[in-house]
Amino acid sequence: MSSLPEPVRQLSAALGQLPGIGPRSADRLALHLVQADPLVVQHLAQAILDGRARTVTCSLCGALAEASPCPICTDDRRDRSLLCVVERVLDVLSLEKSGTYRGLYHVLGGKLSPLNGVGPEDLRIAELQQRLKDGTIREIILALGSDVEGDATSAYLAKVVTASERRVSRLAQGLPAGSGLEFADELTLTRALEGRRDVH
């Protein structure tokens, strides 16, 4: 909207940088915010600042929490012989909602994508290798998407982490091809975890 005042255009441009927000949605949100009750806007702004200031990345798994290490990594009831490797923090949330998995996690922070300039050094692969050194982990579950980059990342990781007494498996049926974990429901994720298969 070219007739928007400059501050609203700037707000719209800032909102448009958020994932899933296109130009029209950004304009609608900006217009809503500048016309909303100032207390509502103040509360939203404070929540954004607090969320950013009080959230840290777990030094062990790479997930988000209020303190590091995170509650999952410090929970003695978790199975420490299982390590589920995921692409993003959102994938941890999806798997936790399923209520099926009781092991630990490792967030890669992305997937290999040579066309986009993402190589092994850009992901948390070195940290993964470091976590495997103490020999506690007996199985690594590769819970990456079933698109080309997810397949390539899984194949690469299977070569990197393979050890004689360590099982490397991958989520099984039920995950739609070409999509990520956040689009799968709890039952689908449960079946995928239970039917995981070895990676050779």
Residue 84's H or E segment, with its range, is: strand 79-86
Q: Do 69 and 165 share a structural domain?
A: yes
Determine the Cα–Cα distance for residues 143 and 91; give it in Å rounded to an integer.
8
| Domain containing residue 74: CATH number | 3.40.1360.10
Q: Do 169 and 79 share a structural domain?
A: yes
**What DSSP state is assigned to residue 176?**
P
Q: Do 38 and 70 share a structural domain?
A: no
For the chain, how many structural domains are there in total?
2
**Closest to 174 in 3D by CA, of 188, 194, 195:** 188
Determine the Cα–Cα distance for residues 116 and 135; give it in Å rounded to an integer.
34
Asked, for residue 118, whether it belongs to a domain, the answer is yes
Quick one: pLDDT at residue 176?
59
Asked, for residue 21, whether it belongs to a domain, the answer is yes
Domain end (from 36, 54, 72): 54
For 47, the domain range is 6-54
Asked, for residue 151, whether it belongs to a domain, the answer is yes
Q: Do 168 and 81 share a structural domain?
A: yes
**Residue 21 backbone phi and psi in degrees, to 5:** -105, 110
For the full predicted model, state whether its pTM sits above 0.85. no
**Residue 105 backbone phi and psi in degrees, to 5:** -125, 160
Q: Do 107 and 46 share a structural domain?
A: no
Q: Do 20 and 112 share a structural domain?
A: no
Q: Do 45 and 93 share a structural domain?
A: no
Instruction: For strands 167-170 and 103-107, give the pairing.
Output: unpaired
Asked, for residue 177, whether it belongs to a domain, the answer is yes
At 12 the three-state DSSP class reads helix
Q: Do 149 and 91 share a structural domain?
A: yes
Q: Do 125 and 33 share a structural domain?
A: no
Contact 3, 18 (CB under 8 A): no
Q: Do 103 and 47 share a structural domain?
A: no
Asked, for residue 59, whether it belongs to a domain, the answer is no
Q: Do 142 and 76 share a structural domain?
A: yes
| Domain containing residue 13: CATH number | 1.10.8.420
Asked, for residue 1, whether it belongs to a domain, the answer is no
Per-residue pLDDT tens digits of the chain, which is 200 residues long: 458 899 999 999 999 999 999 999 999 999 999 999 999 999 999 999 999 999 999 999 999 999 999 999 999 999 999 999 999 999 999 999 988 899 999 999 999 998 889 999 999 999 999 999 888 999 999 999 878 898 899 989 988 887 667 889 887 655 555 556 676 667 667 766 766 766 65
Query: Which positions ≥6 away from 78 have C-beta within 8 Å?
Result: 72, 102, 103, 104
Q: Do 99 and 148 share a structural domain?
A: yes
